[in-house]
Structure 1
Amino acid sequence: MKRSTVNEIIREADAFMKSFGFVLPPFAYLTPEALQAHVAGGGAVIRDHMMGWDITDYGQGDFEHLGLFLFTLRNGNAANVARGMGPLYAEKLLISEENQISPMHHHIKKTEDIINRGGGTLVLELWTRSDDGGFDETAPVEVLTDGQVRRLKPGEHLALAPGESVTLEPWHWHAFWGEGGRVLIGEVSNVNDDRTDNIFRDPIGRFSQLDEDAAPLHLLVSDYDDWL
């Protein structure tokens, strides 16, 4: 992806989130240099917990059709989990464009609530993970949707209207996309580590490779190792 494209996605996403009344925390709007100073001055949790802007084309160079916008608002870490104290949760805002696929994957540890916060319909394709880690093509998929148990056929699509949600466990293979327009998505989960806790069906990457054709408007979490 071109950095100039990333900058434009950030601007459009910020306006879209604000149209639903979601305002990001102050650190979201720091310049790269200001974020460097903020982290050095006591804000290292932003870097260490990978909070902030996250735009991915999964390394495939086709963001329009295979990609996702994310902003991590809060997150804990493995040390919190080990001692059972501190932030044991994570929260994100995501944007899925119409017919833009977030590809099939599951998590190792993360249980997450995926919430349609507004816009179009959020559609998920769901499978149960088999004992060998693949798809169980015979087992039904049981999920909670706003506290109600739903039983779906293998690979069935689940459509969530604005306000509806689904709870996904580590054994749920899932892909998702927007229908009828872009969708603002909320994600609430236990501590999240995007470097290690995403298992994709196809051999793709989690983060984008950037062509630095412009200066960054704001840093992505994938920039932190180089900048912070």
Structure 2
Amino acid sequence: MKRSTMNEIIDYTIEATKKYMLPLPPFATYSIEDWKNLEQDEREIVDNMLGWDITDFGSGDFNRIGLTIFTFRNGNFFDQDTYSKPYCEKLLFVRDGQILPFHFHWKKMEDIINRGGGDLEITLYNSKEDGSFDDSDVTVSLDGKYVTVKAGNKIVLHPGQSVTLKQGQYHQWQGVPGTGDIMLFEVSTTNDDRSDNRFYEAKERIPEVEEDVEPKYLIFNDYKDYVSFE
């Protein structure tokens, strides 16, 4: 993915958060110099992958298959003594018609919340031990009401609705075309996108970046190249 495209995606998302009156924390718009001069007292941002995250899941077509994420808070799988938060909160910004490919999580349980905009259609399967689709019925909690659907069937989240997805439950979603961009939120147990995603067919989760312009913003995978704690 080109850096210029990533800059444009984040600009677009920041403007959308203003429309939805969602203030972002200061580090959402840190300059490259801010990141290079980051002090130890902000190390949690880097260690716990807070901030921007963009992916096209290796599709090469972000507008069709992709997701823009901003992580507000998170714990840490690998350093729970330092970072004891057992929870995570994210903005998941879905463009009109955009698809998130089938995947599940081994460790994370999550609530997906439609905070406004269009409708979100989610296709569900349980998984087998070998990672394949199971043909059993899938039961999820929709705003505290248990709903059971056949394997491969869909649920729809209208603005204000949410679903709880447990470990091992495959889910694919799409913003229902024509209903608009969607301001999704995820509230979950601690998250690590480098180790806790099992995709059914999608390629890489973290994009390979073509540096055609200077970065205007960093995604979490850039931190290692710009942030150094002495």
TM-score (norm 2): 0.93
How big is each residue's C-alpha offset from its partner over 1:20-44, in whole Å with a ceiling of 9 and x where there is no partner?
1211101111102202212x34211
Query: Does the aligned pair in 1 maintain the 2:175–2:182 contact within 8 Å?
Result: yes
1:128 is matched with 126
2:15 is matched with 15
Q: 2:107 aligns with which of 106, 109, 113?
A: 109
1:140 counterpart = 2:137 = yes
Q: CA deviation at 1:224?
A: 1.4
Query: Does the aligned pair in 2 maintain the 1:116–1:122 contact within 8 Å?
Result: yes
Change (3 A) 1:84 1:220: closer
How big is each residue's C-alpha offset from its partner over 1:80-131, in whole Å with a ceiling of 9 and x where there is no partner?
65x6982110000011112211110000100000000111001111001123
2:77 is matched with 78
Aligned residues, how many? 225
2:62 is matched with 63
Q: 2:160 aligns with which of 151, 160, 163?
A: 163
CA distance in 1: counterparts of 2:138 and 2:205, whole angstroms: 25
For structure 1, list consecutive stretches of 5 or more residues without a partner in the other structure. none
Query: Does the aligned pair in 2 maintain the 1:60–1:66 contact within 8 Å?
Result: yes
Query: Does the aligned pair in 2 maintain the 1:97–1:177 contact within 8 Å?
Result: no
Q: CA deviation at 1:79?
A: 4.8
1:5 is matched with 5
For structure 2, list consecutive stretches of 5 or more residues without a partner in the other structure. none
Runs of 4+ in 1 over 4 A off after TM superposition: none
Q: Secondary structure of 1:181's match?
A: coil
The code of the aligned residue for 1:110 comes to K
Share of identical aligned residues, percent? 44
CA distance in 2: counterparts of 1:141 and 1:65, whole angstroms: 26
How big is each residue's C-alpha offset from its partner over 1:26-67, in whole Å with a ceiling of 9 and x where there is no partner?
1111102202212x3421110000000001111231101111
1:90 counterpart = 2:106 = no
Q: CA deviation at 1:203?
A: 4.9
Query: Does the aligned pair in 1 maintain the 2:66–2:98 contact within 8 Å?
Result: yes
Query: Does the aligned pair in 2 maintain the 1:80–1:87 contact within 8 Å?
Result: no
Q: CA deviation at 1:132?
A: 2.9
Q: How much is the aligned-residue C-alpha RMSD, in angstroms?
A: 1.5
1:181 is matched with 180
CA distance in 2: counterparts of 1:58 and 1:85, whole angstroms: 28
As a proportion of its length, which structure holds more helix? 1
Is the deviation greater in 217-226 or in 110-119? 217-226
